[in-house]
Homo-oligomer: A and B are copies of this chain.
Amino acid sequence: MKIVGHYINGQVSEAAERTQDAFNPATGEVTKQVAIAAKETVEEAIAAAQAAFPAWRNTPPAKRAKIMFRFKQLLEENAEQICAMIGEEHGKISHDAMGELTRGIENVDFACYGPQLLKGEHSRNVGPNIDSWSEMQPLGVVAGITPFNFPAMVPLWMFPLAIVCGNTFVLKPSERDPSCSLYLAQLLQEAGLPDGVLNVVNGDKVAVDTLLTAPEVQAVSFVGSTPIAEYVYSTASAHGKRCQALGGAKNHAIIMPDADMDNAVAALTGAAFGSSGERCMALSVAVCVGDEAADTFIEKMSGEMQKLKVGAYTDSSNDFGPVITEAHKNKVNGYIASAAEQGATIVVDGRDPEVKGYENGFFVGGTLIDNVKPGMTCYEEEIFGPVLLVVRANSMEAAMQMINDHEYGNGTCIFTRDGEAARYFSDNILVGMVGINVPLPVPVSYHSFGGWKRSLFGCLSAYGPDGVRFYTNRKTITQRWPSSGVREGAQFSFPSN
């Protein structure tokens, strides 16, 4: 059986303490073995990155960006192959994989802007004949730890930008779908990246902990669930590193009575069920303002859901595929059961859908649950499955209060035609990414991605301008030149120019 190994210092390695099964979630079959790195293997990757740093930091940013331009080209040329890899290990249908990859490539575009993004600020005459300027210098070795649900996009949020800033990188992708990351690393090498600048290790908690505690690692970017994000943030911080850790979400859409309802239903169908709801920006709660809006929404949505097609990634006419593991399928089904038990109404029940020829796949069909209320398990926790909850609110204020009271604050949106409602919502909602009639308000690559509350730990959002700041160290230089004829007396007071 194929071994999925590591990529260290420009070489593929299969060093492993043990291996772990990788599944095709559509068939439920084990298709590969993933090498799980021992501590030493991770340290080897870190050492390779450390060794590659001095030359890479001195490579002019424009030269570094040139490699990103070529990388973009290679990604576009090999897009189909990447999508197939994603499908096979993650189960994502090809159109969705291509959507993910396209977003990822846009982050490579942004990395191409490196020379512009790395500009510091220069001040002439901060005092008489004294100049001062800032340089945004690279940090050294940076680590990225990425989740299974976007095997191409989330790694591409991190390493292209970190690398164009002059850092070297160790990526630990999800061991559920690791092939994509390895292939990305090879393409970047092909684009001209020197050995050791990007390294990929597959592993488990041992690998994570090694990255979080190694003194050479200067910074850690993480995307995953909130409990792990919290662990990563506090552990990396306790080891003196800078860290940004993105966690879970529970994204609400408010549907106002004046909303264009067909539009809202169409938008939410994709945003709730696309990729089986395994997205941290999935729209999993619809808060309808007024029973009339709720009834209309339920009616139209349940109609729309008749057309949903769930199945294997190999058939691109499918709308979405299986969830990632059998355990996760059971967990999602459990949430649906609990909803019913706790008093909610299952309008459409997607448990155990029939998928011909894929009877052992990890499928959950689109599910719609009405009369959900705060306090129910299905409301408080992130389901990460194709389950859309409907909550009924009496007013926009009540709807907003619900969102503001929730633990998470990743994304949210409102459907309305009213300018004032939109502005009041976006101003006062305690959520980092806000959509106005946009169900998945993922910021474009030249803005930054970040939730509020327990959806993100750290000062800086992912990618975009914040990503540049995260991956660089500010150095401020203050300069004067002594005039040989001029002597100054000692100054004992604090200098104030």
Chain A residues within CB distance 8 Å of chain B? 58-62, 65, 69, 72-73, 93, 95-100, 102-103, 106, 109-110, 112-113, 115-135, 137, 153, 219, 230, 233-234, 237-238, 240, 242-244, 260, 262-263, 265-267, 269-270, 273-275, 279, 304, 319-320, 416-420, 422-424, 426-427, 431-438, 440-444, 446-450, 452, 454, 457-461, 465-466, 469-470, 473-484, 487-497
Residues of B within 8 A of A461 (CB): 474, 476
A477 to B431 Cα, complex, angstroms: 10
Which B residues are CB-close (under 8 A) to A469? 459-460, 469
Residues of B within 8 Å of A493, CB to CB, are 93, 95-100, 270, 274
Known contacts A115-B123, A120-B121, A237-B243; 5 additional CB pairs below 8 A are A96-B494, A103-B494, A267-B490, A320-B492, A423-B481
- Which B residue sits closest to A305, measured CB to CB? B490
Q: Shortest distance in angstroms between A110's beta carbon and chain B's nearest beta carbon? A: 7
In the bound assembly, the distance between CA atoms of A234 and B236 in angstroms comes to 9
Taking a contact as CB atoms closer than 8 A, the residue among B60, B124, B233, B477 that contacts A436 in the complex is B477
Q: Which of A95, A238, A461, A478 has the most CB of B within 10 A?
A: A478
Give chain B residues whose Cβ lies under 8 Å from the Cβ of A454. 240
> 17 A-B contacts, Cβ less than 8 Å apart?
A62-B126, A96-B492, A131-B423, A153-B494, A230-B240, A263-B482, A263-B487, A274-B491, A274-B492, A275-B494, A417-B419, A426-B479, A432-B474, A433-B476, A434-B477, A435-B478, A459-B469
- The answer for the CA separation of A400 and B442 in the assembled complex, in Å, is 33
Q: Which residues does chain B contribute within 8 Å of A494, judged by CB atoms?
A: 96, 99-100, 102-103, 153, 274-275, 279, 440, 442
Q: Which of these, B124, B416, B476, B487, contacts A266 with CB under 8 Å?
A: B487
Residues of chain B lying within 8 A (CB to CB) of residue A470: 459
Chain B residues with CB below 8 A from A125, complex form: 58-61
Q: Chain B residue with minimal CB distance to A274?
A: B492
Complex Cα spacing A60 to B455, Å: 28
Residues of B within 8 A of A450 (CB): 474, 476
Complex copy number for this chain: 4
The residue in A59, A427, A457 that gathers the most chain B C-beta atoms within 10 A of its C-beta is A427
Name which residue of chain B comes closest to A110, CB basis: B116
Q: Cβ of A490: which chain B residues have Cβ within 8 Å of it? A: 265-267, 269-270, 304, 319
User: A73 to B473, alpha carbons, bound, how many Å?
Assistant: 33
The one of B102, B135, B417, B422 in contact with A479, judged by C-beta atoms closer than 8 angstroms, is: B422
Decide: A62 near B122, CB < 8 A? Known: A260-B484, A417-B420, A444-B115. no
Cβ–Cβ < 8 Å partners of A103 in chain B: 494-496
A238 contact from B69, B238, B263, B273, Cβ within 8 A: B238
The distance from the CB of A20 to the nearest CB of chain B, in whole angstroms, is 27
| C-alpha spacing A427/B233, complex, angstroms | 30
Let me know if B459 and A129 touch, CB within 8 A.
Answer: no
* A-B residue pairs, 8 tightest by C-beta: A99-B494, A420-B481, A237-B237, A99-B493, A102-B496, A269-B490, A436-B479, A234-B238
